[in-house]
Amino acid sequence: QVTLRESGPAVVKPTQTLTLTCTFSGFSLTTGGMCVSWIRQTPGKALEWLARIDWDEDIWYTTPLQTRLTLSKDTSRNQVVLTMTNMDPADTGTYYCARIIRMRHTTEYFSYYFDYWGPGTLVTVSS
């Protein structure tokens, strides 16, 4: 049974660094094709993909936030950690981690849909 769960502070102050942990079970990030992504949901931007870490250590960030994001994994603890620096009230929202199994359905592209999600963690940025 695949599960993911996000954890981290509910409130951070502007300019602070946010650290979120995704703890998962039911799969291993050392298995070929396995990926974990972070997605956030803010009132202004609906669902926004933030970052992805793959089984082969590749890491990808959304361009507008790439200077503020760092993603890492601890495969022995089945955890993925996202840090976001210089938090702003506009970053207030619910942060989700989700699994992707990268597969090639066609010769054109790989599949990167999210088949399992964590319940999400609400982060409020306020002084």
Partner 1 sequence: DIQMTQSPSTLSASVGDRVTITCRASQSISRGLAWYQQTPGKAPKLLIYEASTLPIGVPSRFSGSGSGTEFTLTISSLQPDDFATYYCQQYYEYLPLTFGGGTKVET
**Binding residues for partner 1 (CB under 8 A):** 37, 46-49, 52, 60, 62-63, 96, 98, 105-106, 108-120
Distance CA 94, CA 86 (A): 17
Nearer to partner 1, 16 or 94 (CB): 94
Nearer to partner 1, 15 or 25 (CB): 25
Task: Provide, rounded to whole angstroms, the least separation between the CB of residue 52 and partner 1.
Answer: 8
Q: Tokens 């599960």 identify what position?
A: 3
Cβ distance to partner 1 smaller for residue 93 or 118: 118
In the complex, minimum distance from the CB of residue 127 to partner 1, in angstroms, rounded to a whole number? 26
Q: Which two tokens stand for residue 122?
A: 């609400």
Shortest Å distance, C-beta 14 to partner 1: 25
C-alpha to C-alpha distances, 12 to 48, 61, 88, 102, 119, nearest whole angstrom: 20, 22, 9, 33, 20
Compute the least distance from the CB of residue 82 to partner 1, in Å.
15
Indicate the residue among 98 and 125 with the shorter CB distance to partner 1.
98
Residue whose C-alpha is closest to residue 36's, from 117, 103, 107, 125: 117
C-beta of residue 51 within 8 angstroms of C-beta of residue 32: no
Beta strand 79-84 with 69-74 is antiparallel
